[in-house]
Structure 1
């Protein structure tokens, strides 16, 4: 099956490079396919009653700088493709990826089996697991 609108979750990790490579290959099979690439910045927030508290993040500027580096990395990988869109969103990664896919009317999500959290540490599959469990469309998990 050829997919026409592919969402790729990208965090700059080696496994997300593989996910993006897979998405690029799929897009090249279908010249009409559009790649929707999302990078999610996760700044933790805590709910206390009716209040949402975002603790001060010492490295918030560093997170946004990293995101700009990630976008630069993506642009070099997709330079052969014309039908692409890159977006940076802030929020809970799994929920943000799922709502982005729905918003873009995607027919496939490609995600790495594990990635980096907002502090550059590996998160073992929690995001990809949540995406697979809650997606209404097929999800390709890359190892």
Structure 2
């Protein structure tokens, strides 16, 4: 059996992604794998190159500081014993996660999942669902837990 070498955990700053980071860290610690923390922004300053942005400033404001804040939050959840790298990419989240997993040869993707009501799920879809169905490696979905200090099955 092949050893698990690299775990990808996409983060968005939500409680569900925090729980996914904690779970990925537990797996990494137990297996000796490294963790790639990935935050995906739909756009950044390089994707809106027009002199006058079509986006309002409240939306087009600096993405970099927000992405860094989300990555820093996730990094604080990783114990010192676990080797990790943090990454920021721009694009459609699900496809960017899938591409990144292939590029980095991830052996496992750990995603957090928030509950949507039926209307939101139908209209918005779910990044975790698309990753689950389209990934070429195993995917673990960590459901949002109202008690994040306790990870259990």
TM-score normalised according to structure 1 size: 0.78
Instruction: Tell me what 1:109 maps to.
Output: 109
Gap runs ≥5 in structure 1? 45-53, 116-122
Whole-Å separation in 1 of the counterparts to 2:125 and 2:28 = 25
2:42–2:92 contact (8 Å) kept in structure 1 = yes
Work out whether residues 40 and 91 of structure 1, in 8 Å CA contact, stay in contact via their aligned partners in 2.
yes
Matched-pair contact (CA < 8 Å) for 1:9–1:38: yes
1:86 matched to 2:71? The reply is no
Written as runs of structure 1 = structure 2, the 5 A alignment for 1:93-132 is: 93-114=93-114, 126-132=126-132
The gaps in structure 2 that reach 5 residues or longer are: 45-52, 116-122, 144-153
Q: Report the number of matched residues.
A: 127
Paired residues for 1:1-143 under 5 Å: 3-31=4-32, 33-43=33-43, 55-58=54-57, 59-114=59-114, 126-143=126-143
Aligned counterparts of 2:126 and 2:114: Cα–Cα separation in 1: 7
Q: Is 1:39–1:67's contact at 8 Å kept on the other side of the alignment?
A: yes
The Cα shift of 1:82 comes to: 4.7
| Per-residue Cα deviation, 1:67-103 (whole angstroms, up to 9, x for no partner) | 1111221222225145211100000000000000000
2:120 equivalent in structure 1: none
Q: Which moved more, 1:17-26 or 1:66-75?
A: 66-75
CA contact (8 A) 1:114 1:125 kept: no
Shift of 1:66: 1.3
Contact conserved, 1:114 with 1:126, CA < 8 A, in 2? no
Greater Rg, structure 1 or structure 2? Answer: 2
* Structure with the bigger percentage of strand: 1
Tell me the TM-score normalised to structure 2 length: 0.73
Secondary structure at the counterpart of residue 7 of structure 2: strand
The CA RMSD over aligned residues, in Å, is 2.6
